[in-house]
Amino acid sequence: MLEVVDGDRLVEAALARAAEIMANGPAQVELTKEGMWLALGTPSRGR
């Protein structure tokens, strides 16, 4: 969890976070996801 927002700001905050993620290239997003799955000890869902 990076941020806690009130319910009336939830969609706005989610869209802002999504825009930050989308600003990265696909390779960076994939590496982040892969790192998350490795940290959880779970095989990547994409493979």
pTM for this predicted structure: 0.60
Q: Taking residues 12-33, report their average pLDDT.
A: 92
What's residue 45's pLDDT?
65
The CA distance from 28 to 3, in Å, is: 22
The mean per-residue pLDDT over the stretch 7-24 comes to: 94
* Buried/exposed 8-47: b ≥16 CB within 10 Å, e otherwise: eeeeeeeeeeeeeeeeeeeeeeeeeeeeeeeeeeeeeeee
Q: Is residue 21's pLDDT more than 60?
A: yes
Given a cut of 80, whether residue 25 has pLDDT beyond it is: yes
- Give me the pLDDT at residue 46, please: 59
Is residue 47 predicted with pLDDT exceeding 60? no
